[in-house]
């Protein structure tokens, strides 16, 4: 089996990377960053997000494993002192995996250019200087006029990240769909939005059509999309979201209960 390693820059991640490489070699496994079958990330959730985008074109043949060097993560199941156990699991690997849905985003700009991205956690559309004004279409029908800071569109596994901070619901990661959560919407007698998060099913299409060309920021996980073209004269016109045909797969060597992880991370010692 071919193993790739993707680590962040901290000294602890470098140390664990060296240790892991030695153990992979000792166990007779093949180290291959170019065509890996299993990618082991070393760092935190952010490192796994970066690895996901690095291997985005190989998602159909790559399974991920996350080692965390800091706090417990949502995508990282192994601790930095469990390298021996992890390598034993790799040696005994029989191809087992668990996969989760992703979010396709299709952005259209004023110069006619388009960009397509796939998000593991979420995409946000925000205005950095003024109130964001946009029309929200669900399945090609106008649903509401949004005014506020912005909108967060998240995957089921991303629902515990930014989405949760802006009041979105936590989704069971085995469900197929995506979620829209408002960021500081303006609600008064004149302007009105639904005011609660919406969870969409697998076939839904969500489109945000921006009303003006002010400083919009569109993000996909850790990345902010390039807004300007070479001449610096394009702006975001609309973004469409739907469940992606692609999925992310994790090599499942141990059973981690998602709701225990939510409880440990956000509640702590409930009795
Ligand atoms: P970061 O290092 O600031 O990470 C933010 C935190 O989000 C970390 O503690 C990380 O463990 C956690 N996280 C990431 N994915 C998660 C998930 N699926 N469920 C629960 N927690 C998760 O930033 P980064 O490493 O560049 O990560 C980017 C992510 O940070 C974005 O995808 C977004 O979800 C999140 N973020 C959150 C906020 C917020 O909560 N206000 C703001 C910006 C970005």
Q: pLDDT tens digit string along 62-99?
A: 999 999 998 778 999 999 999 999 999 999 999 999 99
Q: How far is the CA of 221 from the centre of ligand 1 (A)?
A: 8
Per-residue model confidence (pLDDT) at position 270 = 59
Per-residue model confidence (pLDDT) at position 271 = 61
Q: How many CB atoms lie within 10 A of CB 188?
A: 7
Which tokens is 140 given? 């090609």
Q: How far is the CA of 141 from the centre of ligand 1 (A)?
A: 32
Q: In DSSP terms, which residues pair with 200 in a beta bridge?
A: 178
Distance in angstroms (rounded) separating the CA atoms of residues 181 and 204: 15
Per-residue model confidence (pLDDT) at position 255 = 76
Rounded to the nearest 10 degrees, how much is the dihedral formed by the CA atoms of 151, 173, 78, 260? 100
| CA-nearest residue, atom 42 of ligand 1 | 162
| CA-nearest residue, atom 23 of ligand 1 | 46
Q: Is the CB of 157 under 6 A from ligand 1?
A: yes
Catalytic residue IDs: 45
Per-residue model confidence (pLDDT) at position 254 = 81
Per-residue model confidence (pLDDT) at position 128 = 85
Per-residue model confidence (pLDDT) at position 229 = 62
Per-residue model confidence (pLDDT) at position 99 = 96
Ligand 1: atom nearest CA of 165 is 40
Per-residue model confidence (pLDDT) at position 71 = 77
Q: Is the CB of 123 under 6 A from ligand 1?
A: no
Q: How far is the CA of 22 from the centre of ligand 1 (A)?
A: 31
Where the chain has pLDDT below 50, the residues are none
pTM: 0.96
């Amino acid at each position: 089996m071919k193993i790739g390693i993707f680590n962040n820059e901290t000294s602890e991640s470098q140390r664990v990377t060296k240790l892991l490489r030695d153990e992979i070699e000792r166990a007779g496994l093949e180290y291959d960053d170019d065509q890996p079958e299993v990618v082991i990330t070393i760092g935190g959730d952010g490192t796994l997000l970066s690895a996901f985008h690095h291997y985005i074109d190989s998602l159909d043949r790559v399974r991920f494993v996350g080692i965390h060097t800091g706090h417990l993560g949502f995508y990282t199941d192994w601790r930095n002192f469990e390298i021996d156990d992890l390598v034993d699991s790799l040696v005994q690997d029989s191809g087992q995996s668990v996969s989760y849905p992703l979010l396709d985003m299709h952005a259209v700009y004023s110069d006619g250019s388009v960009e397509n991205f796939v998000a593991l956690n979420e995409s946000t559309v925000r205005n950095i200087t003024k109130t964001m004004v946009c029309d929200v279409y669900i399945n090609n029908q106008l649903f509401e006029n949004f005014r506020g800071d912005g909108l967060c569109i998240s995957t089921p596994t991303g629902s515990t990240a930014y989405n949760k901070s802006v009041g979105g619901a936590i989704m069971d990661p085995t469900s197929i769909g995506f979620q829209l959560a408002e960021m500081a919407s303006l609600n008064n007698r004149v302007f009105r939005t639904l005011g609660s998060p919406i969870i969409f099913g697998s076939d839904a299409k969500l489109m945000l059509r921006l009303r003006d060309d002010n400083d919009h920021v569109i993000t996909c996980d850790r990345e902010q999309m390039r807004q300007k073209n070479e001449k610096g004269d394009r702006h975001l016109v609309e973004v469409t979201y739907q469940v992606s045909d692609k999925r992310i797969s994790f090599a499942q060597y141990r059973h981690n209960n998602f709701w225990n992880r939510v409880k440990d991370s956000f509640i702590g010692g409930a009795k």
